[in-house]
């Protein structure tokens, strides 16, 4: 989930773009993001503080750059779907697709065993966005707010 969603904001096309970046990451790793961590308030805090999955070795740089653009902490800096289409059909990215296809497969071995509290189905969290915001504000992380 995008940091702003964890903070209780509404879903937007920008939050969808963040979700797309997580799919992009899973495509490079073969495993879901944060697979080795409990999906709890601590992970939510880490995401709001800017933590993102570790870049997988041998991922083409153009792909990594696009993924990072999509998971930017500031939703206004994430591309729109129209901008994404233009990026994807851009000749430069087309040329780099072969690099991606031919890249050696790299795995984040520390994350291949799922954590017992890593959930990939819809569920209610055992904390609220209000609690998350209170913790973040008490840590003087107001810049995480969107």
Is the Cβ–Cβ distance between 7 and 133 less than 8 Å?
A: yes
Position 71 pLDDT exceeds 80: yes
In this structure, the number of other CB atoms found within 10 A of the CB of residue 123 comes to: 8
Q: What pLDDT, on the 0 to 100 scale, is given for residue 101?
A: 64
Max Cα distance, the chain (Å): 47
What is the distance between the alpha carbons of residues 18 and 2, in angstroms, rounded to a whole number?
6
Burial class (CB in 10 A: 0-12, 13-18, 19+), 132: buried
The domain covering 3-141 belongs, at the CATH homologous superfamily level, to: Transferase(Phosphotransferase) domain 1 (1.10.510.10)
Listed by start position, the domains of the chain span: 3-141
List, for residues 16-58, the tens digit of each pLDDT value: 999 999 999 998 888 999 988 888 889 999 999 999 999 998 8
Tokens 């071995």 belong to: 109
Q: Is 71 exposed, middle or buried (0-12, 13-18, 19+ CB in 10 A)?
A: buried
Please state the pTM of the whole predicted model.
0.71
- Token readout for 67 is 């993924």
Ranges assigned E (strand) in 14-105? none
| Cα 62 to Cα 97: distance, rounded to the nearest angstrom | 9
| Greater model confidence, 80 or 123 | 80
Name the average pLDDT for the chain: 80
- Nearest alpha-carbon partner for 144 in 111, 37, 134, 90: 134
């Amino acid at each position: 989930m995008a940091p702003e969603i964890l903070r209780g904001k509404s879903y937007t096309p920008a939050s969808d773009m963040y979700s797309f970046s997580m799919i992009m990451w899973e495509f490079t790793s073969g495993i879901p993001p944060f697979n080795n961590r409990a999906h709890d308030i601590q992970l939510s805090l880490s995401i709001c503080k800017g933590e993102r999955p570790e870049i997988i070795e041998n991922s083409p740089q153009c792909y990594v750059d696009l993924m990072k653009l999509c998971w930017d902490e500031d939703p206004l800096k994430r591309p729109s779907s129209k901008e994404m289409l233009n990026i994807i059909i851009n000749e430069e990215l087309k040329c780099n697709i072969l690099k991606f296809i031919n890249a050696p497969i790299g795995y984040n071995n520390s994350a291949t065993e799922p954590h017992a509290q890593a959930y990939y189905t819809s569920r209610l969290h055992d904390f609220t966005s209000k609690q998350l915001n209170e913790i973040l504000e008490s840590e003087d992380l107001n810049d995480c707010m969107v």
